[in-house]
Amino acid sequence: MENLTIIGVIGGVGPHAGLDFVRKIFTNTRAPRDQDHLSCLLISCPSIIPDRTSFLLSDKNGEENPAFGMFESAKRLYGAGVRLATVACNTAHAERIFKPFCAMVQESFPDFVILNMLESCALNIKETQNVRRLGLLATIGTHKSRLYQEYFKEEEGFTLIEPGPEGQEKVHAAILSEEFGIKAHSHDIKPRAKDLLREEITRLCNEGAEAIILGCTELPLAVQAQDFSVPLIDPGLIAARRLITLVAPEKLLP
C-alpha cells in the first residue's frame, strides 16, 4: 500500500516561512506525477502564537509563552491525522519555548513525533560538511537565547561567529522592520533588507566563517547561495529533506 504518512508543518511563525518550508518538501521530492508527491499539511495560525523574540527578551511566562499557540496548532494537525511534524521557526526552538511545547505534545499525543529542526541541522553539518567556523545570522531572540551554542560547542571543535550588537540589530531589522523587513514584504523583498544581510554575511566571512547558518526561516527568502563565496546553510531545507527521508527515503532528490 502507498505510504499515507502525512507530514505536518506548524507555520505562522512567520506565514511565508511556513509556506516556503512546504515548498522545500515539494522541490526535494522525486515526483514525476502529482500522485507521487508526499502528503503534507501546513497549519498557519499566526494570531495565536505570540512573537518569539519579544517573549525571550522579557520575563514573561505562563500563557504568553508561544508554546501554547504552537501546541494548539499541533493539536489540530494531530486531529487531521498527522503523526510527524516540525515547527518552521528557528527562534521557536529556544528552550523556554520548545521544551514546554514538546512536553505538552508528548503528554497529550505520545505517538506524535516533532522533528527538532536545529538538531537535524547540526547532525547534517557534523556528518556531511567539513566546517568548524560557522557564521550565524538570526533574530536577536535566537542570539540572546544562545540557541545554536547548544548544538555547536567549543569543546567539540566548533567556533560560532556572530555579528556584534550593531550587526545583530541590522539583521533583526532586515527580518522584522515594518518598513523594509522580510516578514512585512515577503512577496517583494526590499533592497534594503538584502543589502543589510549581504553586509553582515560579508563581515562574517571576513572574520573567518567557513559557512553561514541562516538561523531564521525568513532569511532564505532574501539571500541566494550563489551570491556568496561560502556555503549558506538553511536549517529549514535540511529539516524538509530529513522529513522526506523519514517518510519515503526513495523519493529524496540528490
Report the number of distinct structural domains present in the chain. 2
| Predicted structure pTM score | 0.95
Quick one: cell of 49? Answer: 502564537
- Sheet with strand 113-115: strands edge to edge: 39-44, 6-11, 84-87, 113-115
User: 224 and 137 share a domain?
Assistant: yes
**pLDDT value for 60:** 76
User: 160 and 213 share a domain?
Assistant: yes
Task: Count H helices and E strands in the chain, helices first.
Answer: 9, 8
Task: Walk along the chain (254 residues) in steps of 10 and give the mean pLDDT of each run.
Answer: 80 95 98 96 97 89 90 98 98 96 98 98 94 96 94 94 97 96 95 97 97 97 90 98 97 97
- DSSP E strands in 123-239: the ranges are 133-137, 159-161, 211-214, 232-233
The C-alpha cell 521557526 sits at 89
**pLDDT value for 1:** 36
User: 75 and 181 share a domain?
Assistant: no
Quick one: cell of 69? Answer: 499557540
Q: Confirm whether 1 is domain-assigned.
A: no
**pLDDT value for 52:** 94
Structural domain of residue 195, as residue ranges?
Answer: 118-235
**Domain containing residue 67: CATH number:** 3.40.50.1860
**Closest C-alpha among 46, 43, 142 to residue 97:** 142
User: 12 and 110 share a domain?
Assistant: yes
| Helix 117-128 / helix 235-247 crossing angle, nearest 10 deg | 90
